[in-house]
Amino acid sequence: MTQSGRGFERNDQGSATFGGVELQRLLAKSRCSTPVYFYDLSGIESQVRSLSEAFGSASHLIAYAVKANSSASVIRTITEAGAGVDAVSGGELMLARHLGVPSRKIVLSGVAKRDDEIDLALAEDLLALQCESVGELSRVAERAKLQGTRARVSIRINPSVEIDSHSHIATGHDAAKFGTALRDLPVAFSLIAERSTHLSLVGMSTHVGSMLKKPNAYLDSARAVCVCARDALTQGHHLEYVDFGGGFGIDYGDGPAAPPAQFATQALALLNEEGLGNLKLVVEPGRSLVGAFGILVSKVIQEKSSGQRRWLMIDAGMNDLLRPALYQASHRIEDIDVPPGTTEYQVVGPVCESTDDFGPHSFSRIPSYVVLRDAGVYAFTMASEYNARPLPAEVFVKGGVIVHENPSPGVNAWVESRLRA
Ligand code: LLP
């Protein structure tokens, strides 16, 4: 059972359901073959709405981190519920604009924006370009001068806060490449003042990292943003917003996480305590809005035993879902038809790499199909075609009905693309 909405559940007979419908029925109706991602758009929508409600009448923007899941159906679902977008590349920005997301509901983040990406952001007149260093502020001023415009910028600070998460997804500590160091802020402020014809400081922002299960570290980094925002106001900059970033965690089977609404309520309270309640509060969630509402369905190819070892080989690999290989992340893997049992198998994919291994999972029999749970984010967006494996298919479900399908491009398209190289 997911915290709100539906996603993956089991019915009274023990078979898997998705978005309230038997998964086997959805599979039979779909024209996509495995490996295939399913997304529950209704679940995603209710998740966004419950986060929005937590802000009440306070001025706010939920800037959905598109890198988490960039399918049009998902972005539309989220933005039609009132959210905007946090983009980290020109491509993500273009996609959001194609989907009709208003410019002033988009921020462009990213640690090393290219000149063409800066130019695009300036032409689109976004809520802000979130700058991550003094050097970048100066480059943005130059580009704005060339375009004869004034850039709306925020300074993304590195709050110097450690979080309890995998080291690869912690971004707000001293050794991270992200953000402007606090000691560089005076120089950043004077640069903006000097180049005020081409730079206007409208926000202060941060993103401390991902998979935060409790709000503590989030609030610590938010407090650092507030201190910097007050400095900026004292120096006469006309700030419009503070952005505390994303990073709200989800339960991958290892224990519950505080719901996004709890982060929002506490962030708002902090903003008021800090005397900044007149500013807009921006948050940048990705994972928490979509993660639990996506699954990857895979067919079992065969089992293999050797001595005490038992492997279950499935047709999804690390190219389809990279998180276990990259972060030692664990996704629950279950038989579609029956609940987990007690016989442990090492579940592995077909890719010729030892890290193509989804870890040990327990079954009551050899399944025909398995579901890899909580695969809504950083899953399809991180997929590759390694080993000549075409990108996986995607199926979008709303109100228990398939509303859209994006089949895999297939192996012939892959061969053709390589023949052109
Ligand atoms: N804002 C910025 C500037 C970010 O860099 C990120 C994520 C987010 C917002 C959204 O964070 P979220 O709410 O989704 O935690 N591939 C990793 C996660 C990398 C996160 C990168 N930045 C994973 O699979 O766990």
249 lines ligand 1 (CB under 6 A): no
- Helix then strand count (H, E) for the chain reads 12, 21
How does DSSP classify residue 30? Answer: -
| Segments in 235-294 forming alpha helices (H) | 260-273, 287-290
Is 239 a residue whose pLDDT tops 90? Answer: yes
Residue 165 C-alpha to ligand 1 middle, in angstroms?
A: 12
Where residue 5 falls among pLDDT bands split at 50, 70, 90?
confident
Share of the chain above pLDDT 90, in %: 94
Alpha carbon distance 406, 39 (integer Å): 12
Q: Which of 32, 131, 226, 352 is catalytic?
A: 352
Which tokens is 111 given? 């640690």
Q: How far is residue 276's CA from residue 254's CA, in Å, rounded to a whole number?
A: 36
Note the pLDDT tens digit of each residue in 36-63: 999 999 999 999 999 999 999 999 999 9
Q: pLDDT-based confidence at 176, cuts 50/70/90?
A: confident
State the average pLDDT over residues 179-183. 94
Q: What is the rounded distance in angstroms from the CA atom of residue 367 to the CA atom of residue 363?
A: 8
Distance, CA 62 to ligand 1 centroid (Å)?
14
- Residue corresponding to tokens 């988490």: 68
pLDDT at 2 over 70: no
CATH for 8-40+291-419 is 2.40.37.10
Q: Is 174:160 a contact under the CB 8 Å cutoff?
A: yes
The pLDDT score that the predictor gives to residue 1 is 40
Pairing of strands 369-372, 294-306: antiparallel
**pLDDT given at position 19:** 97
Comparison of pLDDT for 132 and 3, the residue scoring more: 132
pLDDT value for 4? 47
Query: Quick check: 164 pLDDT over 80?
Result: no
Neighbours of 214 (CB within 10 A): 14
Average pLDDT over residues 354-375: 98
pLDDT 10s digits, 241-286: 999 999 999 999 999 999 999 999 999 999 999 999 999 999 999 9
Average pLDDT over residues 186-197: 97
Residues across the chain: 421
Closest to 19 measured CA to CA, from 403, 399, 336: 399
- Say what percent of the chain tops pLDDT 70: 99
Tell me if 283 CB under 6 Å of ligand 1.
no
| Digit-coded pLDDT (tens) for 70-108 | 999 999 999 999 999 999 999 999 999 999 999 999 999
The pairing of beta strand 151-158 with beta strand 128-131 = parallel
CATH 3.20.20.10 domain extents, the chain? 109-285
Question: Residues 153, 140: contact at Cβ < 8 Å?
Answer: yes
- Let me know: does 114 contact 90? Beta carbons within 8 Å: yes
Region 173-182: what's the mean pLDDT? 86
CA of 286 to the centre of ligand 1 (A): 6
Q: What is the mean pLDDT of residues 350-379?
A: 98
Pair 397, 403: CB distance under 8 Å = yes
Question: Between 216-234 and 185-194, two packed helices, what is the crossing angle to 10 degrees?
Answer: 40
Q: State the CB neighbour count (10 A cutoff) for residue 100.
A: 10
Residue ranges of the chain assigned to CATH 2.40.37.10:
8-40+291-419
Nearest CA to ligand 1 atom 4: 207
Architecture of domain 109-285: Alpha-Beta Barrel (3.20)
Q: Is 228 a catalytic residue?
A: no
